[in-house]
Amino acid sequence: MARPLDVLNRSLNTPVLVRLKGGREFRGVLDGYDIHMNLVLINAEEIQNGEVVKKLGSVVIRGDTVVFVSPSQ
């Protein structure tokens, strides 16, 4: 069985969708992470109802707010 950090490692440099507690969603390329599941996304965008509402560039997302990380197109 894959461990969460193994899955993140395989997702490095690929597009991902990240949902946070409270329902916010971000899409971007996973550029890095740490053992706390803090994430660094580049070319990040905030998504609402499947639509881009804000282009953000590089962002750091605190791991304790992450609900899931999924591959994205």
Give per-residue pLDDT as tens, 2-60: 777 888 899 999 999 999 999 999 999 999 999 999 999 999 999 999 899 999 999 99
The CATH number fitting domain 4-71, selected from 1.10.10.60, 3.40.50.11930, 2.30.30.100, 3.65.10.10: 2.30.30.100
Statement: residue 1 has pLDDT above 90: no
Q: How far apart are CA 40 and CA 33, in angstroms?
A: 6
Instruction: Measure Cα distances from 52 to 22, 26, 28, 38, 66 in Å.
Output: 17, 9, 11, 22, 19
Instruction: Give me the pLDDT at residue 25, please.
Output: 97
Q: Whole-prediction pTM value?
A: 0.91
Instruction: Give me the pLDDT at residue 73, please.
Output: 72
* Other beta carbons less than 10 A from residue 65's beta carbon: 15
